[in-house]
Amino acid sequence: MFVPHTEGQKKEMLRTIGVRSFDDLLEGLPKDLIRPPLDLPGSMSEMELVRHMEELAKRDHLAQSYLGAGAYEHFVPTSVWALALRGEFSTAYTPYQAEASQGTLQSIFEFQSMVCNLFEMEAANASLYDGASAAAEACLMAAKHTGRSEVLVPDTVHPQTRQVIETYLKHSGVRLNVLPCRGGVLEPSTVKKVLGAGTAALLVQNPNFFGCLEIHVHELSKLVHEAGALLIASSYPVALGMIVPPGEYGADIAVAEGQPLGLPLGYGGPYVGLFACKMDLIRKTPGRIVGQTVDQEGKRAFVLTLQAREQHIRREKATSNICTNQALCALASTIHMSLLGKEGLRRLADLNFQKAHYLAGELEKRGFPRTFDRPFFNEFAVKCPVPPDRIEELLAREGVLAGLPLGRYFPALKDSLLICVTEIKTRGDMDAFVGLLENVCR
């Protein structure tokens, strides 16, 4: 497929090369291993492929979902991907030749600027793989910067983020200390007990895995800084339309899963890791960074910069092994952020807040009290009279994903279901959902 040469051209090309047959070009390869038989089907035409894929996709069609837990179903305006999938963006590569890559470079500069403004942070990179690896890289960076070797992570941080951090830290000489939390938030007293001269950083997720706001962030920040450690804050970008941004409570590094900004759920990826920090940490930052400069005629232009941090120059001494970023996802997020604008983000956050609070209220009235009585944004856990696994199964038959049974990650919360509501749910959807829940719990 996709080979343009005619048989005649191939012969001519071999003649130009100066060989009699193609196999003369394979002289260095082990003869006994060449062209192994492959137990794989033959090719499909595009038409057959489309039919095949549509059948596979159809298989899992569902009407509604109340699942959140790190991946959120927000409406994505049509123009986001109509623009991002333009070949000029999607079929270009890392902008090494800046003169022929200003489109990608300028869009990343805009992305960095919007991420800074979202977090109220001073500097941002061109993105990392996803929110989880961004959190892991932040832990490594904090340890390198402080010269200390322990990172504190409360268990209110997404369990899968914690798993990725664990993988990254395992052989780095940095210890991961997971702090158990009761009551849905991290208490300063829990941190005080373990905070010390060896603490490189504390990671907080706000809102946290249970959807609760980490109500003590200001105090936690003060504590951590008094101990000479860094504060790493992980956020939910849409929530930042309403809740305090990490820069305001003194975070040194801010990270987020950028998926809610224009990326489809897509079964987990590709997403985009947002990563920002204070300016004095920028040279220790992992990943690509775009900067503004001028060309030889004085025209404003953009270029990859501070590259001496990176693996292609520093090799084993690089700040990270990451090579590319998630440029196309970052671009989609940039377009999405532009379309929302200042006021749009605020309104979007408000819609999420309103709908989630409506549903939480309705559920409370019908005998599903919230597990944690804490301020929340658009996600909350409720206690169920029937095991949540059973609820999940029964509602799926009605075409509805009820939420995440928390017992899968926290055995003590085996009666709780984590429910997320975004702007896409109508009052009618939610009333029907409450009805279904009532029915299966009767």
Partner 1 sequence: MNPNDLRFTKTHEWIAADGTVGISDHAQHEITDVVFVDPPKEGKTFKAEEPACAVESVKAAFDIYAPVAGVVTAANKDVAANPALVNQSPYEKGWLYKLTMTSPSDRDKLMTHAQYQEFLKTATH
Partner 2 sequence: MPITGDRKIVEELIFEQSVSGRAGIPLPSSDVPRTEPETSIPSALRRRAPADWPEVSEPQVIRHYTRLSQLNYCIDTHFYPLGSCTMKHNPKVNDRMAMLPDFSALHPLRPHELSQGVLEILYEVERWLRELCGMDAFTLQPSAGAQGELTGILVARAYHESRGEKRTKVLIPDSAHGTNPASAATAGLEAVTVRSRPDGQVDLDDLRAKLGSDTALFMMTIPGTLGVFEPQVREIVDLVHRAGALMYMDGANLNALIGLLRPGDLGVDVLHVNVHKTFSTPHGGGGPGAGPVGVKKALEPFLPVPRVVKEGHVYRRNLDYPSSIGKVHGFQGNVGILIRTYCYMRLQGAEGFREMSENAILAANYLRAKLAPLFPKMPKGPFMHEVVVSGEGAFANGVRTLDAAKRLLDYGFYAPTVYFPSIVHEAMMIEPTENESRETLDDFAAAMAAIVEESLTTPEKVKTAPHTTPVRRLDEVKAAREPILRYRRD
- Residue 156 touches partner 2, criterion: CB under 8 A: no
- Residue 9 touches partner 1, criterion: CB under 8 A: no
DSSP 270: S
d(CA 312, CA 358): 52
User: Beta strands 253-257 and 230-235: pairing type?
Assistant: parallel
Question: Tokens 């001496």, residue?
Answer: 308
CB 310 within 8 A of CB 288: yes
- Residue 173 touches partner 2, criterion: CB under 8 A: yes
CA angle (300 as vertex; 294, 303 as ends), nearest 5: 65
Residues 292-351 that bind partner 2 (CB under 8 A): 292-301, 303, 305-308, 310-318, 320-329, 331, 334-335, 337-348, 350-351
Residues 257-286 that bind partner 1 (CB under 8 A): 283
Residues 286-325 that bind partner 1 (CB under 8 A): 306-308, 313-314, 317
* Burial (CB count <10 Å: 0-12, 13-18, 19+), residue 21: exposed
Least spacing, CB of residue 437 vs partner 2, in Å: 17
Binding pattern for the stretch 64-103 against partner 2, x by CB under 8 A and - elsewhere? -x-x-xxx-x---x-x-xxx-xxxxxxxxxxxxxxxxxxx
CB 191 within 8 A of CB 177: no
DSSP 284: G
- For residue 261, give the 3-state DSSP assignment: coil
Q: How many residues bind partner 2 (CB under 8 A)?
A: 204
Measured from the CB atom, the residue of 228 and 291 that comes closer to partner 2 is 291
The alpha carbon of 324 is separated from its chain's Cα centroid by a whole number of angstroms, namely: 15
- Residue 182 touches partner 2, criterion: CB under 8 A: no
CB 25 within 8 A of CB 34: no
Measured from the CB atom, the residue of 105 and 251 that comes closer to partner 1 is 105
User: Using the rule CB under 8 A, which residue among 117, 178, 227, 434 binds partner 2?
Assistant: 117
Least spacing, CB of residue 147 vs partner 1, in Å: 10
Least spacing, CB of residue 308 vs partner 1, in Å: 4
Residue 351's binding partner among partner 2, partner 1, none (Cβ under 5 to 8 angstroms by kind) is: partner 2
DSSP 5: -
Least spacing, CB of residue 110 vs partner 2, in Å: 5
CA angle (154 as vertex; 210, 189 as ends), nearest 5: 110
User: Using the rule CB under 8 A, which residue among 160, 278, 369, 390 binds partner 2?
Assistant: 160
Question: Tokens 């986001």, residue?
Answer: 80
Q: How many residues bind partner 1 (CB under 8 A)?
A: 7
Residues that bind partner 1 (CB under 8 A): 283, 306-308, 313-314, 317
